[in-house]
Each structure stands twice: as C-alpha cells, then as structure tokens.
Structure 1
Amino acid sequence: MEHQHKIKKDPCKTAQPMKMGAHNHHATMIEDFKKRFYVVLILTVPIMLLSTIIQRFMGVNWQFTGSSYILFAMSTIVFIYGGWPFLTGLVSEVKAKTPGMMFLIGFAITVAYSYSAAIVFGLKGMDFFWELDTLILIMLLGHWIEMRSVMGASNELELLVQLMPSDAHKVIDDKVHDVKTDTLNEKDIILVKPGEKVAADGIILEGESYLNESMLTGESKPVKKVAGDKVIAGSINGNGSFKVTVSHGAKDSYLSQVIKLVDDAQKSKSQTQLLADTAAKWLTIIALVTGISTFLYWFLTGHTLSFAMERMVTVIVICCPHALGLAVPLVVAKSTALAAKHGLLIKNRNAFEDSRKITTVVFDKTGTLTVGKFEVSKIVSLNKDLKENEIIRLASALEQKSEHPIATGILQKVKDLSIKIPATEKFNAIAGKGVEAIVEGKKILVISPGYLKENKITIPDGFTADDTETVVFVVVDKNMAGYITLSDKIRPESAGAINTLKQENIKSILLTGDNSKVAASVSKTLGMDSFIAEVLPDQKLKEIKALQQKGEFVAMTGDGVNDAPALAQADVGIAVGSGSDIAAATAGIVLVNSNPNDIVSLILFGKATYRKMIQNLVWATGYNVIALPLAAGVLYNQGIVLSPAIGAALMTVSTVVVAINASLLKVKYTK
C-alpha cells in the first residue's frame, strides 16, 4: 500500500444479509429428534419386558396369548415413528444416487424389522425387536446430541447475526423517530445513545464516544470516535451519545458482508472436505459389502438366520460414515465464524487451510508493519520564490482526491496550518509514482524518488532526509520547487509478530515502494530476513513469482485493491485493513485491522484448524478399523461379540467425540 493514489469510491454493494431460516429449521429438527427419542424411550420398557430373549435372561416367562402381536404393534410404532427420519433419509439418498449414513441406518432398521415381523407371522427363529428398538433409540439420541453440537459450532455466526440491532433512532427535523434498521437509507441521520449498538455503518456527524468493536474486528480495547470518524454497525457504544450520517442501507453494511462471507465460506468445500466426502462414500460401499459378506459367512457356516442378520445389522450400523461426514464440516463451521469474530475474514477455504504450508510472509510496509499514519516532519523549499506554506498548499490540492496515508498526512498538516486548499484540473494518478494536475494555471507534480530515478532527474543539492523518512518531491512547471518529508512510526506489535514467525521457521520479507534507506531501517529494526524496496505495484507480482520459483510457499499481505495482482499470485493472499472492500478484494483472506499480529494469528489458527480436521478424520476412520471386525464377529469364538445397540452406541460416541473436538478450537489471539 505504498505511494499509489487510491481514488475514493463507494464500498462494494453486493453482499446480502444471511437469512435466518436455516437456523430456525435446525432448531425445529433438534426438537423433532428430541420428541421422537422420548416416545421411543417410553415404549422401550414394555418392548424389553415382552421380548423372549430378555425374559430368558431374567429367568421368567411372561408370555401370554397375543403377547407377540402386542410386541409387534409397539415395535411397528417405534420403526415407523422413531425410524421415520432415517427412512425418509434413505429414500432421499437413493433418489440422489448418493447412498450414505441415512441409507445405511434405514437399510439396517428395515432388515431388522422385516425379519422380526416375519418371525411373528410364522417364520422359525428368534425376533430381535428389542435390538431394533434400542438401535433406533440410540440413533435418535445420537442425532439429537450431534445436532446440538453442530448448532453450537455455528453459534458464532448466529452471534454475528444478532449483533445487528433491529431498531434505530432516526433524526428528522431535530425530532427522533424509532424506526426498523432495515428501513434506513444512505444519508439518513441516526442518534446512538449510551450503551446502545450502532444501527448502521456511517460517519459521526456530531458528538464523540468510545466504541467497543471487539466482536467485529477483534480489537479488544474500546476505540475513541469523534466527528468525521467511521463507525461500524453492531459496535457497542460507551457512555457518550452521537449522531451518525448513514453510509448505506443494512444489506450493504460491513456486518452483512461479513455474515454473507462466513456463510459462503462455511458452505464451500475445501480439499480436506472433498477428501472426507470421498472417504465417506467408500465407507458406505465397504459397509454394504462387509455387511452382506458377514451375513453370508455366518449363515452358510451353520449359524441361525437371526444371528447372521444381527451380525449384518451391527456391521452396517458401526460402518455408518457419520463421524467421518462431520469431521471436517464441524471444524469448518467453527473456524470460519470464530475467525470472523477476531477480524480474520476467510473468503477462500483452501487459502486458509494452505496457511499451514507458508514458508515466507511478504509484508507491505505502510499501515501493516507501520502505523500508516504519516506526519509531515519537514517542508523544504528549493525555490527562493516559493515559501514552505506555498509548497504544501500546492501539494495538498493534488492529494485531496487520494486516500493514501501520505496524502492524509499532507492534508492534516494543511488543516493544522489553516491553509485553504485550491481546486485542480486535469488530475492524473501516475501509478505507484505520484500524481499530476493543473493548479491555478500551473502544472504541478507530487512525485516519489522512484519517478526522479526513472526520468533521470537528479535529486537536488541540499536534500536531506533520515532513514525513516518518506519523501515526496513537488515540481512546478517542470522546475523542482521543494520536497516534503513524512515519517511513519513502526507499530509496537510488529517486532513481536516478526519474532513469532521466526519461532515458527517462517521467513519475513519487506516489499515496499518506499526508498531503500527507509526499507533497510524498518527491516533491520524489526529483525526481518530481507527487504525489497522501490517496487511498483506491477513489479510486486514479479517479486512474488521469483520467490515461488525458489520453492517458497508465499503469503503476501497488502492493500486489497492496490496490490490485487500480487495478492492473486501469492499462494495465500492476505488483504489488510480493507473492511469496506471485503467482496472486492482478490485476496483469499481479509484482515479487518492492519495489525501484523493478526497475520501471525491467522497462520497459527490455520495450523490449529488443520490439526483439528486431521484429528477428527483419524478418529473417525480409526474407530471403524477397530469396531468393524468386532461387529463382524472375528472374536466370536473368544466370546466377544457386539450387539446392534452397542454398535449404535459406539457410532454415536465417535460422532460426539468429533463434535466435541471441533468445539475446542480456539484462536490464539495476542494484542
């Protein structure tokens, strides 16, 4: 984000707020599973007491005329009412030609029910209605617990949605009217009272206060806001009250864009997710093949039909790819929403998961490693006819159309000196080198040292600037008029961030459009590995490519708009300080603050997220490797055999372990 002039523009207006229907649907499903579970639980006791095998185990005989039909009737209620979610799931998966977990459970309970019903109506053998009942009971309980865990993983997103207040105090002709937030339009004026949430993005018109933006940007300290400062919808006001000029409607707000971004990222599938999906499909095939093979083996080796059936049902239940199917999505839901709460906005899941491979981080200097707030330290006239105030007055005319930190520094100095800024004609930005325009009939250029070098213009005698100062030269009608030096402080957090990267064996390189002396000074002060100075935006791309050709896995941090080509070329593009340009940035990840610690947090969080995914995948597959042979009966001769209910319990436990493991994910966030 070096001395290039980013012309002011409207924030991107494409994002729509997330609809809450999906969340409500999820809550309804949880309630449905809970209700079905309790109905089946009530029927479990009489079903168990009427089952022959349970009576034999208890040493009693409670059989009476028609008892088998009562048992059949109650089991039919359990099968149809309790098993309904699995049976409808089976039909859906068959229609979609993607047999998975619901297909396997539906198949298993249908086989168990059909066989047991045939026993009631004359087939020789032993029914296992009680196994069917306990299998459905445990599967309902497992789904209920799992869905609550899934909802918990998405709760961070829900919290983001709830940040947006539903009402606002709109000011019309000095009277305050309470209106719905979604009715606010650009240029409306709203009042924000103490302790309230800001209802819309905008600029403070009058008043001042401290705002808590931690839920939006990860910035833990309350931030002082005065007239002219931007405010974000959803941030919490302190003790002051102020009026805000609304920048845009609710659907275009920063928060709505974040919610949309998180929602999209949670739905998108990364390479790890595709790997898990493939494994789940194979597990479904293995379940069916192993289940049928187990049935044939036991039945053809002289065991009873009911024993062979029971083995098959247990194998199919154990093999359900449920934990495997949830292993990655739960971590994705948790990590994406959690990152957004800390100001790390993931646009591209693959870029985020690839952050664990980063070997080199290329830092833009201004506003990332430095505060980005340039202050004029010197104004030097090289023309006896032009005073210092005249030089900065002419320079400010050109800089008033720019948002660049250098421009901001010059304009602040003009404001401090109470100088009136003149108008410009034929304004033109010279990419990465400066600006030119006609001011009061004179052709004015405000240019960087790089422009002088490129156009073979000698730096004037008497020029002095220390290593930490950035310089712009002012040319009036082709004559060197003078120069302005500005200084930008290094952020207090920068040294710690670079040091943490070193501990992680990640190289840090400074890539800047600034002069070599400034770059060398900043690089040396922070203990960075190297620096590349006086680089124009189009050359940044070449430098990134050169690093990649040396075998480095490169993360590039820079302004989301100005550094777009380089960000797109980098293996992981990280746009910093581009809150209003979320959707416009080419980077895979957008950091709301320009804090270098956020970049470190992102890399560490990416590694932690990947670890969680792998832990879940290892658990979900490892459990099947051990449980499947036991379900098939390999240790039957040693007296170890699993019933369908135990199989269902083990499957539920594996799913809950995966859910709990995902929920333990945390952002290591240091300020």
Structure 2
Amino acid sequence: MLIGFVPLFIGGATGYWLVKKFVKTPSRQPARPLSITQLLKDLKGAMVADERQQLQVDIDPRVLESIENARKKSSQRLKLTVGATGLALLGSVYPAFYVLGTVSVLYLSRHIFIRLQKDFKLKHYLSTNSVGLVLTVDMLASGHLVLAAFAGAMGSFFVKIIDRVEGNAQQQLITTFMEHPEFVWVLKDGVEIQLNCNDVQINDIVIVHAGEVIPVDGTIQSGVASIDQHILTGESQPIEKSVGDQVFASTLLLSGRINILVKTTGKAVVAAKIGQVLQYTQSYKDTLITRGREISDRFIPVTVGASIITLPLLGHNSATAVLWSAPGTTMGLLGPVSVLIYSQILARQGILIKDGRTLESLRQVNTIVFDKTGTLTLEQPTVAKIHSFEDYSSSTVLKYAATAEYRQAHPLAKAILAKAEEEHLELSELTEASYQVGYGIKVTVDEQLIRVGSSRFLQSEGIKFPESIGSIQQQAESDNASLIYVSLDQQLAGILEIQPTIRPEAKSVIQYLKQRGFKLVIISGDHKEPTRRMAETLDIEHYFAETLPENKATLVKEMRKKGDFVCFIGDGINDAIALKSAQLSISLKGASTVATDTAQIIFMDGTLTQLEDLFRFTDEFEDTMKRNLTTSIVPSVISIGGIYFLHFGIATAMGLTYLGGLAGLGNLLLPLVKHTKQKSNH
C-alpha cells in the first residue's frame, strides 16, 4: 500500500519546486519578493472566495448573513469529516469498528450521492459521480476501508470546490421587484394619513413628493411632475406628466408633487409582473455542469470499457485500478479550482464573477447585446445644442439657465451646470427664487426675472414663442431630446436641447469588441430615432427600439435559436428577463437591484471599461485549462500502462491520479504567482 503514497510525495516535491522556481524568477522590473506564505494565503483566499464575497457584500449587504452562516456550516462539516475519517481508520485496525468505519465512509461520500441525484435529473447517468459511487462501494466490499475513507474525504472536498464554483454567489432573486418606502402617505376624507405600503388598496389616493420612488401603478389625479422611467421603460429622458397620465411603480419622481389614483398594488404592478416572469424564466446556467466535469465525463465510457476488458484478463483489483486511472479524471477538480483562482484574480480587478461556470462559458460568446439607456449612456445627460433668440448669445442663455438651476439636484439641472462649468461661465447672485412644482423655476437676478422650465411653464407665464421654434420642437421630439426654455423678463431668450450622454469609454470598448469579431446589438425600450442614432454613432449595425421587457427576452431567445451565444449587458428592471434568458449576463454596480441580482457578472467600477479586462483574462484562463488537460491525461496513461505491464494495484493507481492533480495544482499556481506579483508591484 505504501507504494501508492510515493507518487504523492513526488507530486508534493514537484509542486514545491515549481513554486520556488517561479517565485524566485527575477523580473525585469524591481519588485518586492513574493513569499510562499503569501502565495498559499492567496490560494486559500481563492478557494474560499473571500475577495469575491467582499464584492458581493459591497453590492448587497444582505448577503453577509448568509455568508457567515455558510462559514459556520463549513466549520461544522470539517469537524464531522475529521471524526468520520478517524472512525474509518479505527475500523481498518479493529474489526469491531469496521461497521462504524463503513458508515463513516458512506457519510464522507454523501456529497457524491447528492451530485448523482442531480445527474439523474439531467439524464446524465454515466458520469464521474456514478463511477465514484461504484468505486466507493467496491472498495468497501473488498476490504479497502482506509483507501475508501481517503477517497471519500477527497471526493467530499472536491464537491465542495465545485459547489463554490456553481453557487458561491449566495444569489438572492428579488421577490418584490419594487424599491419603495415601508410607509406611504394616503389621502383619506381630505386628510393625509400614513399607511404601510402593503395596506394600500385600489382606488386609494397616494401622495408622492419630489425625490421619492412611486410605490404603485395608477393615474395622476392632481399635480404635475417630471418622472424618470428609464429603469422600467428604457426611455432616456424624464417625462413630464400631469392629470390623467399613467405612472408606474419603481419609477422616480424627479420634481413636483402628485396625487395618484391607485390602479394596481403589490404583485400586480408592472415591476412585480416582470419579477413573476423572471421567476419562471430558466437561466442558461441551470442546465450547465462545470467544464472540468464535462471533460472528465467524456472519458468515462472509454474507462468503463477498459475496466470491463481488464476484469477477465487481470482480475478484480486491476479492473478497479483501471477505473481509478480514468484519463482526465482530475479535470473535475482542476477545472473548478482554475475558475476559483481566476475569479479571485478578476475580483482584484473589480470584476465580480457570481457563478464560476460563467467564466468557463465566456469563450463561447459570439454576440454581445447592450441595453441603451443607463448602459451605453450615463445617468446625467448633456446639453447638446443651445438655440438663442433675439440678440441673446448662446453663452448668455446658458448663463441665465445655470444661474436659475444652481441649487437644483435633478439630472437636467446637473447637465446645465456641467455645461456652464465647461465654458467657464461666472454665475450671478440670486436675489429671489421660487419653484413652481412640475413646471420650472423663477429667479430674480439684477432686477431681471429669469424663467427656466418647460414650454407649458413659460406659456402659462405669458411668454410668447416665435413660430420658428416649431421645427426645433419637431426635431427634438424625433431625437427624443428634452427642451428647456429660458426667458428674460417677458421675452424668450433661448432653448437648451438636452440629450443622453454616451459613456466616455463606450466607443473604445465597442471598437475592441469589433476587433475581436463579436456581433454587437442594441435592444432598447427607448424610441426608434435616438436608438438608431446611438447605433450609428457607436458603429453598431444591429438595433431594436421601443422594445418591451418581455420582448427583449424574446429577441434574445430568437438569437439563441439561430445559434448565437449571447451575452446581455443591462442595468434596469426592464432588462432583468433578458439578462436571465441570455447565456451570459453582465450588469454594472449602481444599476437597479433587480439587474445586479440577476446578472452573473458585475463590473464594480460602474463602467464598461472592464469588458476588455474580462476577455483578456478569459484568453489566459483558456491557456491554463489546456495545460490542465495535459497534466490530467499523462498520469492516467502511465497508470494504465503500469497496471498491464508492472502490475500496479489500486493504491498506486490512486497515487498516480492524485499526482496528476498535484501537478495540475502546480500549474494553477503560476497565474496566481504572476498576478500576485503584479499586485505587489503596484
């Protein structure tokens, strides 16, 4: 039996030599020395996914409790595993403990039974797990209790690693799909009273103020407001709404005060209906197994066939040893560990990989679909044009508008102020200001009255519009631009045309993706003309506009049916179904909770820049996986040859298998060394 542990010793020495060799390799740039202790610490961190978990907590503090609970359970399982291993060892020495030892081995192998059950549900009957079960039972029946215990403990460890790859995110699917306050104000018999949001009934009158999220679907009974609906509908510009207009839960009231006649509440609102569809939309990853396991399973029929042939030729022990020598068998471990290591490396780059199988699937992506508003554009729009009238210059119009909006916090005001700062305009001191909710603002500067707001606001104030603005309004409506009117005393001074701001990194990222050969698509809930213009500006050939949330998912599914492997990038509630329907999904930190809960990858810097890093590391990950396969196949070939020509037994076959695993782990230390060095250099 001792001969079986010789390869383990050799493998350990080989792994240590690899680490020492690469750690000591001098770099061309001076760097702090990397210690074995630090390397092992990084390896442990990758295995327990500590940096990934920290990113999860940064996005959603709710997961902290579930992470702590998982750690406690893991600690308890470790103690039980040690106890069960001890009983198995006693059973091999004292026959009186053999039954307890057998029970302990079955306990250590329990994860294999659970995995096997999942395989059967997927109609995946001949797998590494089924062979593992056969080997465990066979070794128990033939009296190899110690080897069975060792295999059970190692198998349990491997399964935990795979579980971390497939479910480390502690992902919490949204149940309410609504971000609303616990309490809302409701008008009852002319009196405003505070109610729990869940107690609001149809036909109640809910009062919503500027800066609040609308908690219900309904129609405006009184008041005027500017509402940001992009998170739900994908419309890029705030919408001005008044009596009789429909409003939706989860949208944001930017300015004004409105009374809403409630039409739907709770699970019946549009946002919640999206949530219900999402619950029943099967995620692509639900049917995936890790690529390492997939590779291992491909060799199983050949290995089983070789074992069956060996049985009459060399006997039972040799046939069992052949099963232990399955080519590629250690890929079931090396694949998931590779994923964990690269997930750790990516986490340090600010890229959160929730599900490890996502990293394995990135190489298959050939189509990238972008949501437009909030993904390709920034939250804050831009002053695109300034139309001036009479003798006023563009700078004067902008200065008046910025002076009036100086203390306002909504996106349009921020766009005006940013433009004024860009042009280095000095703003005048306000002497008097009043804000008319939902319409605009009036300020007095140097005894002159400035009005800034919507056309409705200025017309209600008696400001006359020249006929020439008709073409400006028509073009703005076509472009889906917002118009802000500026008057001085009783005369229209000018109009600011405000349009969405394309992310500064968008063009370079799109160019990089096109160079890699990806098919690029925009799917937006926004109007056709601004979507077309966005696609033209970014040189994206394919686009779909005015698309409802469920239709976004339909388009994604149609692409998949045509053979495309789709990665969807979005940020809103309206993107959630499409995010889950795509094979791969990405969102940005700061996006809606629904999007970040549903997406498999999160860019923590809130930009698209990290797409380049993601695919660059994917290339490196693929090279590592190819080397893993080599270290997995070579020991198996040696082992099977040794069984036939040198009469290797079960212990030696096991040892060679684990030797391949150790060599593979040595290979996996290389990227960890490389990127830990880079981190220390910075």
TM-score, structure 1 as length reference: 0.49
TM-score, structure 2 as length reference: 0.48
